[in-house]
Amino acid sequence: MSQLSSADTTTETPAEEATEVEIDERRQAVLDELTARLGDAVVGSHIRPGDDLWVRVERAAWPEAAQVAKALGYTWFDFLSGIDWLPSPFGRDMDAQVDLQVSGAPVKEPAPLVQGYAGGDTRFQVFARLYSIAAGMGIHFKADLPDDELSIGTWSRTYFGADWHERETAEMFGFHFEGHPHLVKLYLPADFQGFPLRKDFPLLARRVRPWPGIVDVEPMPGGDESEGEGE
């Protein structure tokens, strides 16, 4: 679940090391507090020292997590959105398949489904961020959504700003937010079919034309020829 966390501690310089431990403790304290209040609902977590905190909660505890965080002083609502973890090449096949054929490279095998920080078991996740102005820290919340029931409780009762974010997430990923007062499309036309930010939604422009990045660029001197997809 947290095997990814070791890759992140690259930027610390010795000077920051002293403060880093202290801030780390603060985030750990917040995490402990959340765990104490939410109980078993906290199913995963990740702390990047001195930077950020990720907490994954049970789907059923999603609205409760917002209330608990608000009670802890995380009053400022930052954003809410979704993630589709369906891996490449499906996500990039609109460019990758075509491009790889052009450059003669072998077609990649689909990679396994790997969730990011704080882990996860499902393809779709909802994630959101709250911020405490007093503490100067933010929390990222994540929750798994099983494929057969893409539905989760709304945050818009606790954080009014979540209203629009949930509408956007709903139209972009096809999630349903239970209890949302007005869950209609925000950006897209009302008769729009499909969920654009899902990885299996084709980006038509890329289907019609291959990624210009690969056909236009001449091979760079000294560059790695097999990776000619660069700028």
Residues that bind other proteins (CB under 8 A): 4, 7-8, 10-11, 51-52, 54, 75-79, 81, 83-84, 87-88, 91-92, 94-95, 111, 114, 116-117, 127, 129, 133, 136, 138, 140, 156-165, 172, 181-182, 185-189, 196-197, 201, 203, 206, 211, 213, 220, 222-224, 227, 229-231
Q: Which is nearer to other proteins, 11 or 40 (CB)?
A: 11
Please count the residues of the chain.
231
Q: Which is nearer to other proteins, 29 or 40 (CB)?
A: 29
**Helices (DSSP H) in 62-138: which residue ranges?**
62-71, 93-103
**81 CB-near residues (< 8 Å, 6+ apart):** 126, 127, 128, 165, 168, 169, 172
- Least distance (Å) from other proteins to the CB of residue 37? 20
**Cα separation, 63 vs 132, whole angstroms:** 18
Q: Closest separation between CB of residue 68 and other proteins, Å?
A: 16
Helix spans in the chain (H): 14-38, 62-71, 93-103, 162-173, 204-208, 212-215
Which CA distances in Å does 45 have to 15, 101, 167? 27, 40, 26
Q: Which is nearer to other proteins, 40 or 225 (CB)?
A: 225
Closer CB to other proteins, 39 or 230, in the complex: 230
Nearest-approach distance from CB 38 to other proteins, in angstroms: 21
